[in-house]
Amino acid sequence: MRSCDLTGYPRCDGTAGVRNLMLVLPSVVCATQVARELGKAAGAVAIVHQHGCLHVGDDLAHTERMLVGAALNPNIGAVLIVGLGCETVQGASLARTLSERRPRVDYVGIQEAGGTAQALAQGRAIVDGRLAQLSATPRVALERGTVRVGIDRAGDPLVEPLREALETRGFPTCVAETASVGGAHVELAAAGMQAIVSLCGPGEPPLGSAICPVIAVARDREMYLALADDFDLGAIEGTHREHAQLIAETVASVCAGEPTAAERRGALDFVLQRLAVTM
């Protein structure tokens, strides 16, 4: 079995990204407008989410873990945290946590900056500077085993042959158990997977991810035909093994830089699972 010539962006902790993204991450929903504006810069991606304030207990810990994990994903070359200032998940402390583990972590607080206009001006200067740094970084050869692939659906009969096909090619795998597909993607991204295979069942339209390329595989022929543009692979004739081989080949070319359907349409989904009510 041929192993692919893996290239990407090595990180200081021994991991490596298959993308080199400038992530704009709001710590709270109140900072999403500024983040969205900053994410319009070519080469930047912004996450728009609904959370970050008035969490309690496990739900707070989970939310912080997911935001930190997403920002530490090896695909992220630089991250700008946008905070408001009065929120529960404090943007400044999120940025401090990240900067202990990674270079190129910046923070803009809207209240501290003196409002939206100032925050945007500060943020734009940071994003432009980081994008220039990132664009100067070449892809280099990676060691086998450094790129891990998440599979978003436990229980699909394709999972075991797919794990085998991916691992044979040098991609360690991890399977999510989360019922929510978007929630599974966030958890896989936060656990450090650099690519995700999404196995979409009947009636399930595919999601993208702001952090990882998502290879969307329709497990249902009718759904594939109806939404062909948004899937990377359809329901394929043949055995599970053959199907798994084809997916693994696609994963390899996506990891080498080929854009997924979700990347082409610009779907930057980030669906965070919650564990308790908002206060």
Binding site for other proteins (CB under 8 A): 29-30, 32-33, 48-51, 53-57, 60, 84-88, 90, 110-111, 114-117, 178-183, 203, 205-208, 223, 226-231, 261, 265-279
Compare residues 77 and 182 and give the one whose CB is closer to other proteins. 182
DSSP 97-136: HHHTT-SSEEEEEHHHHTSHHHHHHHHHHHHHHHHHHHHT
Cβ-contact 148, 193 below 8 angstroms: yes
Compare residues 145 and 205 and give the one whose CB is closer to other proteins. 205
As measured in angstroms, the least distance from the Cβ of 140 to other proteins is 32
As measured in angstroms, the least distance from the Cβ of 206 to other proteins is 7
Whole-angstrom distance, CA of residue 161 vs CA of residue 215: 16
Compare residues 78 and 232 and give the one whose CB is closer to other proteins. 232
Compare residues 165 and 187 and give the one whose CB is closer to other proteins. 187
Whole-angstrom distance, CA of residue 104 vs CA of residue 12: 11
As measured in angstroms, the least distance from the Cβ of 94 to other proteins is 12
- Rg of the chain in Å (alpha carbons): 19
**Which residues, 6 or more positions from 72, have their beta carbon under 8 angstroms from its beta carbon?**
98, 101, 102, 190, 192
As measured in angstroms, the least distance from the Cβ of 118 to other proteins is 8
Helix (H, G, I), strand (E, B) or coil at 191: coil
As measured in angstroms, the least distance from the Cβ of 234 to other proteins is 12
As measured in angstroms, the least distance from the Cβ of 262 to other proteins is 8
Compare residues 116 and 253 and give the one whose CB is closer to other proteins. 116
Compare residues 112 and 164 and give the one whose CB is closer to other proteins. 112
* Ramachandran angles phi, psi of 11, nearest 5°: -110, 165
As measured in angstroms, the least distance from the Cβ of 215 to other proteins is 15
Tell me which amino acid residue 45 is. V
End-to-end CA distance of the chain: 54
Element (H, E) at 70: helix 57-72
As measured in angstroms, the least distance from the Cβ of 141 to other proteins is 33
Compare residues 60 and 248 and give the one whose CB is closer to other proteins. 60
Cβ-contact 93, 41 below 8 angstroms: no
**Which residues, 6 or more positions from 69, have their beta carbon under 8 angstroms from its beta carbon?**
189, 190, 191, 192
Helix (H, G, I), strand (E, B) or coil at 196: strand
Compare residues 205 and 238 and give the one whose CB is closer to other proteins. 205
Whole-angstrom distance, CA of residue 191 vs CA of residue 82: 22
